[in-house]
């Protein structure tokens, strides 16, 4: 019995699909993944980043997701749910603050803050800002008045209130405010305050304060910050980001960042680039083994893998050119 070219094509298609399914069977998949990864890594050493993508392509892609994409309101809601879970886990923890945040990290951050000129200029700026000066002086005045009020006997306080005219009380209050304002300005403007030895004393004060704070349970932080506070802070930052991403300034920063990356790594081989980014062969193979087998096995059981293979291969075996070749055999 003569076999028609189409029957032969169908048998070849069935055989090829069966072969590929066998290559992706669990017992062979591990070797398949490893060999394919090694092949890709070997070829990647022959190409640079510039050989495959351009800065403009990356800029356009980054702009699409960072600027043009409409951010759904589901994101803040998701973050809120995650924050609630993190918060509950934190407040139920018996760990101390010092177990979560190392003292060396805190002091390194403080040293860096005190080292940069902006910090010292920022502290000195307090002495030249009238609004902040008024707030500090007002707070000092309120504290002084509260101290006098609490420390003065009730009988004496009542007697002074009856005997002193209101204009004297108002005048004294105004003079005290003016004096505190001048003294606060003089104090914050004094270069002596920002000498290295004084900053060293500030560092020691922070260290003592941190050592005391570090011994408190993490659960006590709920007294300082609620989950609602964290969520509201995120919403404020999220809204700021939504506005910032549409500005020309952000767009220029995005382009500059992509250009800087390509200036540094554009002529670097893909293998070396992966190494520079800390991505090793072992890490990639581990991830491939973690995600590949269960996903492919699920596709096999659902019949989706075979359907995908037939959808892509059947066109070749049904083509007139293929049938013509088979008829010539």
Hey, where are the domains in the chain?
1-47+269-329, 96-216
Contact between 134 and 181 under an 8 Å Cβ cutoff? The reply is yes
Residue 159 pLDDT: 54
Residue 75 pLDDT: 80
CA distances from 98 to 88, 95, 147, 199, 220 (A): 19, 8, 35, 24, 13
- What is d(CA 221, CA 216) in angstroms, rounded to the nearest whole number? 9
- What is d(CA 133, CA 187) in angstroms, rounded to the nearest whole number? 11
Q: Is 329 helix (H, G, I), strand (E, B) or coil?
A: coil
Residue pLDDT tens, the chain, 329 long: 567 889 999 999 999 999 999 999 888 999 999 999 999 999 999 999 999 999 999 999 999 988 888 877 778 888 888 888 888 877 677 788 888 888 899 888 888 777 765 555 555 565 565 655 666 666 666 656 665 555 555 554 555 455 545 554 455 566 666 666 666 666 666 565 556 666 777 788 788 888 888 888 888 777 777 888 888 888 888 888 888 998 999 999 999 999 999 999 999 999 999 999 999 999 999 999 999 999 999 999 999 999 999 999 999 999 999 989 888 76
CA angle in degrees (0–180, nearest 5) for 133-138-139: 100
Residue 11 pLDDT: 93
Nearest to 317 by CA among 6, 48, 2, 3: 6
**CB under 8 Å, gap of 24 or more: what pairs does 36-44 form?**
37/281, 37/284, 37/285, 37/288, 38/281, 41/271, 41/281, 44/269, 44/270, 44/271, 44/274
Handedness of CA 253, 255, 256, 262 (dihedral sign): positive
Residue 252 pLDDT: 93
Residue 168 pLDDT: 47
- Global confidence as pTM: 0.69
């Amino acid at each position: 019995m003569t076999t028609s070219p189409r029957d032969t094509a169908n048998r070849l298609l069935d055989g090829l699909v069966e072969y590929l399914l066998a290559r992706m069977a669990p017992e062979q998949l591990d070797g398949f993944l490893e060999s394919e990864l090694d092949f890709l890594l070997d070829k990647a050493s022959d190409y640079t980043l510039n050989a495959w993508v351009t800065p403009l392509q990356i800029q356009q892609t980054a702009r699409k997701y960072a600027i043009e994409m409409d951010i759904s309101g589901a994101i803040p809601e998701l973050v809120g749910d995650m924050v609630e879970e993190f918060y509950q886990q934190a407040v139920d923890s018996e760990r101390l603050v010092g177990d979560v945040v190392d003292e060396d990290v805190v002091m390194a951050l403080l040293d860096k803050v005190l080292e940069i000129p902006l910090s010292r200029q920022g502290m000195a700026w307090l002495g030249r800002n009238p609004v902040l000066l008024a707030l500090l002086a007002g707070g000092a005045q309120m504290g002084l008045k509260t101290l006098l009020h609490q420390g003065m006997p009730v009988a004496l306080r009542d007697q002074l209130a009856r005997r002193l005219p209101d204009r004297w009380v108002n005048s004294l209050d105004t003079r005290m405010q003016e004096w505190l304002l001048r003294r606060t300005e003089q104090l914050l403007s004094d270069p002596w305050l920002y000498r290295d030895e004084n900053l060293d004393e500030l560092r020691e004060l922070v260290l003592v304060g941190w050592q005391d704070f570090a011994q408190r349970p993490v659960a006590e932080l709920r007294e300082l910050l609620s989950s609602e506070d964290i969520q509201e802070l995120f919403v404020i930052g999220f809204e700021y980001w939504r506005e910032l991403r549409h500005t020309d300034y952000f767009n220029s920063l995005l382009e500059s960042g992509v250009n800087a990356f390509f200036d540094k790594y554009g002529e670097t081989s893909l293998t070396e680039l992966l190494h520079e980014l800390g991505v090793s062969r072992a890490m990639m193979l581990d991830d491939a083994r973690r995600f590949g087998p269960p996903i492919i096995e699920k596709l096999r059981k659902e019949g989706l893998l075979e359907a995908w293979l037939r959808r892509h291969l059947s066109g070749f075996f049904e083509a007139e050119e293929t049938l013509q070749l088979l008829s010539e055999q």
